Structure 1
Amino acid sequence: MAKEPVENTSEFDVGDFVAGKKFANFEHDFKGIVEKIYEHSLLVVITENNPEDDATVNEYNHRAVLRMSETKILVKTDNPAPRPSAEDDAEDDNAKGDNA
């Protein structure tokens, strides 16, 4: 059974440049670009880090999963994905009623 895609209702968009707090083996905070958005977390490609954390960044394949609540947006992307509006939801409901 296929799952329906989850709508992005967060303030984050794929492509945002963000700051992440240190965790696990990281000794310093780092920066990166949002690659994927989950319900309460983000997959971030690490682009800027302290040289002391290079081994950890390589071990994590230059990616980290961060809590949204602990992530700060530094630069919003210029090309965010479209988000559903209340108008779109009403149109979807009407279309479902026509097909029933």
Structure 2
Amino acid sequence: MATEEVVNDSGFNIGDFVAAKKFANFEHDFKGIVEKIYEHSLLVMVTEYDAKDQATVNEYNHRAVVRMNETEVLIAAEVPVDDSTEDSKA
């Protein structure tokens, strides 16, 4: 069984600190950390939000799935470099 390498060309990485637009029950925009990357959306752990959105954040268990095109990276996560592929080419 061959394993297929998944290439992330979305511009987002796991661990990025992002700003997301309000949606559904959120009354304000919020910020958080990317936990998972889907095809056109991100699973974000909500870390910074307006106090008026406390009930919504609790209801969503501090997580939200947001559209990539409505999300902005504020602080990029450090992405480890895989040196094993360079060693095998030598």
- Matching residue of 1:80: 79
- Matching residue of 1:67: 67
- Matching residue of 1:27: 27
Name stretches of at least 5 consecutive residues in structure 1 with no aligned partner: 92-100
Query: Which structure has the highest helix share of the two?
Result: 1
Matches within 5 A, 1:33-72: 33-72=33-72
- Matching residue of 2:18: 18
Percentage of identical aligned residues: 64
**What count of residue pairs does the alignment treat as equivalent?**
85
User: Offset at 1:81?
Assistant: 5.0
* Equivalent-residue separation in structure 1 for 2:14 and 2:81 (angstroms): 11
- Structure 1 stretches of 4+ moved >3 Å: 3-6
Q: Which amino acid aligns with 1:80?
A: V
TM-score (norm 2): 0.82
* Equivalent-residue separation in structure 1 for 2:39 and 2:5 (angstroms): 11
* Equivalent-residue separation in structure 2 for 1:65 and 1:18 (angstroms): 12
* Equivalent-residue separation in structure 2 for 1:37 and 1:82 (angstroms): 19
TM-score (norm 1): 0.74
* Equivalent-residue separation in structure 2 for 1:22 and 1:81 (angstroms): 31
RMSD: 2.3
User: Offset at 1:82?
Assistant: 4.8
Task: Kindly name which structure, 1 or 2, has the bigger radius of gyration based on alpha carbons.
Answer: 1
